[in-house]
Amino acid sequence: MSDKPARPVTNLQPLSLHVPEPKFRPGDTADFSDISVPPVDAIARPGENIAPQMMRELSYGLVRVLDFDGTARGSWDPKLSADRKLAMLRSMMLVRAFDDRMFRAQRQGKTSFYMKSTGEEATSVATAMALNRDDMCFPSYRQQGILISHGYSLVQMMNQIYSNRGDHLMGRQLPIMYSAPDYGFFSVSGNLATQYPQAVGWAMASAAKGDSRIAATWCGEGSTAEGDFHSALTFAAVYNAPVIFNVVNNQWAISSFSGFAGGERTTFAARAVGYGIAGLRVDGNDPLAVYAAMEWAANRARTNNGPTLIEYFTYRAEGHSTSDDPSAYRAAQEFASWPLGDPVLRLRDHLIAEGSWDMARHDAQAAELDAEVKAAQKEAEKNGILGHGMHQPFETMFQDVFEEMPWHLKEQCEQMLAEQRAKFGPDWSPR
């Protein structure tokens, strides 16, 4: 006889688990009519010194500036000059042109991997423009717009993608994990959400030194399920760190939708409520709203009013990466049905509506930027591509780790170089 205790007699239903399931799968027609898009002026801009507990509703609403007719209204309107908005549009268009060309380069076998940010350009370009150039950004792997808006060399970005002999990282990072600290861009980490505690630590150090620089960090909504995310928010709340947490809610992780990170239950901005920090939920496809939210949070951090968590409600138009096929797990044409539109087109239409732009200049700029990216690609490829073999000397794998190389690594390096000479000859060098 079994000694396992019998299940007690009860009238209760058996326990069950809930497994999140996206609303639309391949073959379905996407319908986002259940998404509530409030009027532009539905949420008033509070003072930058407001207590977090007084702004709970901002974590559940949607900060907006641009209406769908192209007009900018409401208290969140940052009142940017036409030149400033045109610069924003140019950077967003350049990101899109860069993404398209690097995607094709990967398909041509010139690099192993690439990640596009189509539909999310505002979450990196507009946010970067609202910060000071000496602030430090701790990005995830889809914020190439920060580098582009900061004027970083396209050739150098491509060198890092190709891991060629012009790559100052010497091929030690994955293709899209850029590093440019001189441009306020901390090295991208492939481990999800590790940039969050890094940003908090940097911000705490800045405050401890009596500096005026702040930190900002980005992650996708899926990464909010990581322990590092929550550790970072705890430290930031306890020490009132001058840091901005940006959560890009683009609805999809690699192949799982936002529900697996808790998106069915509440907003991601609501995470701020539990930690006692300021929280904002923003239309991530409205570049002016994105700018305004980041500017508000930056001013708040710079005046010792603490951290802010901002959720950008947007949509990943393309696959997670070149290794991903979104048609295998989501409905076709979802992006076309997304109620918040395309950030590039929304800013274009706004500028046309206010008389600062027109379609002829827009098309001419698109062609100009495509030519600029093409020229940069030709220049970068002079330094090599994936199919050209090794681009860095063998011994570089032992360098830049220790201030003085330990004896056992010196022996390994010498042995490796002897084998190299024996196999390839004394005059071999990488292409």
Mean pLDDT of 210-235: 97
pLDDT at 307: 98
Q: Is the pLDDT of residue 392 over 90?
A: no
Q: Is the pLDDT of residue 391 over 70?
A: yes
Average predicted confidence (pLDDT) for the chain: 94
Q: pLDDT per residue over 14-54, tens digit each?
A: 999 999 999 999 999 999 999 999 999 999 999 999 999 99
> Which of 33-47, 199-213, 232-246, 379-393 is least confident?
379-393
d(CA 129, CA 85): 10
Q: pLDDT per residue over 4-17, tens digit each?
A: 766 667 788 899 99
320 is catalytic: yes
Residue (of 402, 339, 411) closest to 119 by Cα position = 339
**Annotated catalytic residue, options 239, 329, 361, 388:** 329
**Annotated catalytic residue, options 271, 316, 330, 348:** 316
Model confidence band, residue 287 (pLDDT cutoffs 50, 70, 90): very high
Q: What is the percent of the chain where pLDDT is above 70?
A: 98
Q: pLDDT per residue over 322-351, tens digit each?
A: 999 999 999 988 888 999 999 999 999 999
Q: What is the pTM of this model?
A: 0.94
pLDDT at 396: 87
More confident site: 395 or 81: 81
pLDDT at 354: 97
**146 Cβ contact partners less than 8 Å away, ≥ 6 residues apart:** 124, 125, 127, 128, 137, 139, 184, 185
pLDDT at 1: 55
**Annotated catalytic residue, options 96, 165, 213, 320:** 320
Q: pLDDT per residue over 143-178, tens digit each?
A: 999 999 999 999 999 999 999 999 999 998 999 999
pLDDT at 181: 96
CATH code linked to domain 52-323+334-386: 3.40.50.970
Model confidence band, residue 429 (pLDDT cutoffs 50, 70, 90): confident
Q: Is the pLDDT of residue 430 over 90?
A: no
Model confidence band, residue 371 (pLDDT cutoffs 50, 70, 90): very high
Which residue shows structure tokens 């909504």?
A: 221
Residue (of 383, 320, 328) closest to 111 by Cα position = 383
Are 234 and 274 spatial neighbours (Cβ–Cβ below 8 Å)? no
Which residue shows structure tokens 């830049």?
A: 400
Q: Is the pLDDT of residue 428 over 60?
A: yes
Q: Is the pLDDT of residue 2 over 70?
A: no
Mean pLDDT of 95-109: 97
Measured CA distances, 133 to 136, 183, 201, 231 (Å): 8, 7, 19, 27
Q: pLDDT per residue over 58-75, tens digit each?
A: 999 999 999 999 999 999
